Amino acid sequence: MADRYVTKHAKGWAVQAPGGERASSVHTTQKAAEQAAKQTVRNLGGGEVRIQGRDGRWRDSDTVAPGNDPCPPKDKKH
């Protein structure tokens, strides 16, 4: 599984691997970064995408198929 984080960046929003020092891509909007992260995770076989809010706290986490969703009945997001 390949997880990715969407984090605040000096030039907008970054997609980054957990523990990675550099962003794999930078986007002007959080939505664009989230979509890029989900596509990357989907291409790598599924996993989690964690999204950081403007305040630096984690605000959301999405499982991308065929990842192992810990709460499948509750999570209806795509």
Amino acid (one-letter) located at 49: V
**Could you list the residue range(s) of the whole structural domain that residue 53 is in?**
4-64
Band the pLDDT of 73: cuts 50, 70, 90.
low
Region of residue 45 (left: phi > 0; alpha: psi -120 to 50; beta: else):
left
Average pLDDT over residues 67-71: 62
> How many domains is the chain built from?
1
| H or E segment to which residue 16 belongs | strand 12-16
Task: Find out whether 16 and 7 touch, Cβ atoms under 8 Å.
Answer: yes
Q: What is the pLDDT of residues 11-33, one digit of tens each?
A: 999 999 999 999 999 999 999 99
**Inside any domain, residue 26:** yes
Run of H or E residues at 29: none
pTM: 0.81
Q: Please give the mean pLDDT across all residues of the chain.
A: 88
User: What's the average model confidence in pLDDT over 40-63?
Assistant: 94
* 74 domain residue, yes or no: no
